[in-house]
Structure formats: structure tokens, C-alpha cells
Amino acid sequence: MQLAILFFFLRFLFENRQRPYHSRKTLGEEAHVLAEDGRFSEAEEKFRRLIESTEREFGRDAIEVAAPLRHLARMKSNQGDLAAAEALFLRVLHIQEINVGSASPDLIDTCEWLAGIFRQQKNYDATLLYLRRVVAIQAATFGEDSSQSAPNYNLIGVALHAKQDTDSAIWAFRRAIEIHQKNPAHNMEELSLSINNLAFVLKEKGQAEEAEALYRRSLELQEASFGPDHVGVRDVLIRLARLLQGKEDFSSAESLLRRALSIQEKVQPPDAEQHALVKEELADLLDDMGRCDEAESLFLDVVKAKEQVFGPDHALLASPLSKLGYLLARRQEWLQAEGYVRRAIAIGEKGGNEALQFLANTYLSLGLMLRDKGAELQAEHALWRALALEEKVHGFDHRPCARALEAIAGVRAALGDAKGAQSLFRDALRLRETGKPDLALANLLENLALMSRQSGSTEDAEELLRRALLIRRGISPTPSQAEALTLARLAGVLQRKGNWKEAEIHFRRALTLYESALGRAHPGTVRVMWMLATVLEAEGDLVGARLLYGRAFELTAQSTPRNDPNFIGMKRRLNGLMLKLEPCYVSPQANA
């Protein structure tokens, strides 16, 4: 009897000892099945019961608790509940640090998940913190040049680029490529990705030649590894085409995009969204080339295809609709153009925070379109809306807000509010000066200079134009048409101040650049030629002035009606100078 009681007692203890494990195993399996079926709330309830059961048996900070916590964290992250996922992963990390130490390779997966969550939240400082921790653990465990660390260096580069730390981003991308190349069995797709990212950042920095070489190298790698019709080849072709488009090598860019489109058409099963995106790239290029009819046809195809797949109000329609509107605006087909742009805005308004930058850009373009149409008051309303959106995205007093401020200033100037316009231009200048000098800053300085000159402040205008000229020369050592215009404007201010010698130097330089870029007969060239002649006349060089007046008059006569007021004025000026010169032309008989 005693033996029987002992047997049943031991059996009871054994069964109760085994039951929690089997219960936890069942809960875990059920939770995974529910998550795969999309029944997330039920899956979460099972995961939380599993966590509680594991905590009761092993303790709150036991390593066994980390596994179900991680499963729940991943599910939350995949659902988009990043705040909940972050809290869960941080607890997993805490448990791992207690049980296996802060430098264990077991922490790598958790830190990578946390970095991904923070990257989605645009918290790039936290992203970098965890990625750097990962590469440090990988270096200590597997060696400095372990292939496992290359993708993380690439992600470090992405985060640094998002923080606008361009030089550090370039270093990180180069490091990723270096590690890939030191490992014979490197991941070709990862290597190509790092090369593409490096090329993109170099292109942004103005190092187009190295960027092009990198894209071509990536293209060769993709073709050699995956064949000429792989989607990876398509993606590199598009990136390279964009670069060549920026260099105005339109023919080569078109060839690449048509090849990319051909690759996309072979993809099985067909991907209507991607096909439309490649077509949109080609339409952008054709629009840039001035082949507006072809571009319009492609944009309409893209809109129609996206409407069929996604419906008339889908977010993916906003981009081609806005571009179609801009194209028609350049043709001054205002009614249709405004309709497309306002439809794009209506779609963007439904897009939440993700669409704010698109909306800011589109309202800005709508405002400029309305300004060009002559509807200044409507334009101003759209531009103030653009400014409000820029401030919402970037915060007050940040550089991106300068674009809208400048546009509003231009409208106020057109409405006759010179004082208000100048104040807005100054606000924009203050924001532009917070970053590196660029062409946008140079253009803004010139706009302010023109306003200062109109208000009679030639000293201020001169200073602003000299700054603009220095910026243009610093950005591009090769003289440009834009530099020629700045030189001509500076010369005009110096002429107004009576500084004839320096005005002559700048006008001559501007004339040389205009003749080289636009040709001798271009109206811009003729205008600078005429202004140089007025300076020479003021300096007393009547013969030199007559020659330039004569050339300018002859070139103008080729394309200008005889009753044109400007033509008549030029003729009178030239005749007046000839009368001044008449005593100089003495006949031989008179000398005798």
C-alpha cells in the first residue's frame, strides 16, 4: 500500500514538472500559427501568456524569457507598432547583457533589429549607436574584415547620409566595399548595393565622374552575376541614366532607360507598378529633352496604368499627375495643368506625414505656375501653404524653408510690395547662409542685389553681386553662362557708380562668355555688347564704342522690326555717336 502511494506521488510530481514545458511549447506553436494567419491580437495574447509562464518558472531576467519576448517584438515590428517593438527588444537586450555579457555575438540580432526600428523612426543617432555596437562585436568575434560586418557598414553609411554627414557616409560605404572585396565569397547583391549607394552620394557631392565609374562597375557585376535581364541590372541602368541626364548626356540616358523598360517588360509575373515607374523615368527624361509630346503621352500612360491597378486616388498617382501638370504649364495650357496639379495635391493631402514633403514641393510648384499665369494672389496663397508645410517637416528657421520664402518674395515684388519682398528675401538669405554656399544662395544674392539696385542702394547691390560671383566661381572653376550674367549685372552696378574701368573689365569678360555659350547673334550677347559700348563712350573711347554699337545694331536689325522702340532707340544712339565722331574723319583735301 505504501509503495503504491509513493508511486502515484512520484508520478504526480513528474507530470506536473513536465506540464509547464509542454504547455509553453504549445502556446508558442499556437502563437506562431495565429501570427502567420494575420490574427495578431490572438497571437499577442498567446505570446504574453508564454512570457508570463516562462518568467514564473525561470525568473523575470532569465535567458529563457528572451526568446518569446523576441518573437513578440518581431511581430509588433512587422505590424508597424514600432514603439511596442522597441520596448520589447530593449528588454531582450537587457536580459542578454545580464546572462551572456555585453560583448556576446548573441546580441547582434537584437541590436540589428533595434537599429532597424530606430531607422524607421528616423532616429539616426540611435540607429548609429546600435549599428556601431554590432560592428564592434563582429570585429571582436569574427575579425576586422568579417564579411558579416559589410552590410552593417552600408547601413551606417545610409544613416550618416540621412544626417547629412556626407564625408563620413562616403567612408562607411567605401569600408563596406573594401570588406566585400577581401572576402572571395562575398554577396554580390550587397556589394552592388554599397557601390550604388557610394555612387549616389558622390553624385550629390558633385563628383559625377567617379559616380559614373562606380555605376558602370555595379552594372558589370550585376550582368556577370545575374544575367543581362535581371531586375538588379534594371535598377542600376535607371540610376546611371539619372546621372547622365544630370550631365545632359540625354542620348545615352535615353538608351539606358529604354533598355531598363525592355527588361521590365520581360519580368514574370508582370509588375504593373514597377513598369509604370520605369516609364515615368523615361517620361521625365523626354520632358527634360524638350520632347514634350512624347513625354506627355508616357505620363498619360503611367496615370492610366496606375489608375487601373490602384484606383483613381492612390498615392502613387500623385507624382505623375504633378509632372504632367508642370509639363502642360510650360506650354501655358493653364486650365489642364492646374487641374492635374490640384488633383495631385488632393491625393497628397490624404497621405499623412509621409506626404508632407511632396505636398510642400507641389504647392510650391502650383504657386510658381499661378505666378507665371498672372494670378499673383492665388499664387501667394499656394506659396504660403508650401512654407507652412516646409516648416512642419523641417521646423522653423531651417534652410529648406528658404525656397518658399524666395518665391513669396518674388510674388510680393510683382505686386509692387518692394519693402515686403526685400524683407522676405533677407529672411531667405539668413536661412540659406546656414549651409554650404551653393547656386541657390548665389541666385538669392542676385535677386536681393537687383532689388537693392532698384531702390538706389548701389553699394549694397555691389556687395551682394560680388558675393554671388565668388560663390559661382568656387562651385564651378569652368566659366558658365550664369557667371556671365552675374558679371554683366555687377558691371552694370559699377557703371551706375561711375567705376568705368572695372565695369569695362567685367562687361568684356561677360561678352566673351556669352559669345561662347550663346553665339554672337543671341539677344543676351547683343545686350552686353551694347552695354560695353556705353561704358567705352563714357570713358571717351568713341571709336571703340562706335564699333560695338555698330555690331550690336547690325545683329539686332537681322531679327527686329524697324518700328520696334528698342531698335529705334539704338539707331538714334548710334547716329548721335556718329555726329560726335564726324570731326575725326577729315578728308585729305582738308589736311592739304
Residue 455's SS3 state is: coil
Which of 198, 257, 189 lies closest to 226, judged by CA?
Answer: 189
CB distance 327 to 295 below 8 Å:
yes
**Closest residue by Cα to residue 384 from 412, 351, 358:** 412
Between CA 110 and CA 126 the distance in angstroms is 14
Answer whether 226's CB lies under 8 Å from 232's CB.
yes
C-alpha cell at 466: 560680388
* CA pair distance 399, 394, nearest whole angstrom: 8
pLDDT at 219 over 70: yes
pLDDT band for position 11 (cuts 50, 70, 90): low
| The pLDDT of residue 582 | 63
pLDDT tens by residue, 172-198: 999 999 999 998 776 888 999 999 999
Count CB neighbours of 349 within 10 A: 12
**The length of the chain, given as a count of residues:** 592
Q: Is the pLDDT of residue 68 over 60?
A: yes
Identify the helix (H) or strand (E) that includes residue 233: helix 231-246
> At 18, is the pLDDT very low, low, confident or very high (cuts 50, 70, 90)?
very low
Residue 362, amino acid = T
Least confident piece of the model among 2-11, 172-181, 217-226, 278-287 = 2-11
Residue 248 CA to chain centroid, in angstroms? 18
pLDDT average, residue stretch 507-530 = 90
Share of the chain above pLDDT 90, in %: 69
Q: Output the pLDDT for position 2.
A: 55
Read out DSSP for 365-385?
A: HHHHHHHHHT-HHHHHHHHHH
Question: Tens of pLDDT along 295-332?
Answer: 999 999 999 999 998 999 999 999 999 999 999 999 99
CA pair distance 511, 491, nearest whole angstrom: 11
pLDDT at res. 556: 83
In angstroms, rounded to a whole number, what is the distance separating the alpha carbons of residues 133 and 154? 14
Predicted confidence (pLDDT) per residue in 386-427, tens digit: 999 999 999 888 889 999 999 999 999 999 999 999 999 999
CA atoms within 13 A on the CB side of 434: 11
Q: Which three cell numbers stand for residue 507?
A: 562687361
Q: Does 490 have pLDDT greater than 70?
A: yes
Give the residue among 421, 417, 392, 393 at the shortest CA–CA distance from 405: 421
Instruction: Name residues whose C-beta falls within 8 Å of residue 199's C-beta, 6 or more positions apart in sequence.
Output: 210, 211, 212, 214, 215, 218, 239, 243
The residues, any chain, with a CB within 8 Å of residue 479's CB and separated by 6 or more, are: 513
Q: Indicate if the pLDDT at residue 199 is higher than 60.
A: yes
CB 409 within 8 A of CB 445: no
Q: pTM of the predicted model, to two decimals?
A: 0.75
What pLDDT is attached to residue 590? 33
pLDDT band at 143 (very low <50, low <70, confident <90, very high): very high
Q: How far apart are CA 321 and CA 316, in angstroms?
A: 9
Burial class (CB in 10 A: 0-12, 13-18, 19+), 167: exposed
User: Cα(436)–Cα(173) distance, rounded to whole angstroms?
Assistant: 23
Q: How far is CA 591 from CA 285, 363, 585, in A?
A: 69, 74, 11
Q: In this predicted structure, what is the pLDDT of residue 583?
A: 54
pLDDT above 70 covers a percentage of the chain that reads 94
Of the given ranges (139-148, 163-172, 564-573), which has the lowest mean pLDDT?
564-573
Residue 30 has pLDDT above 90, yes or no: no
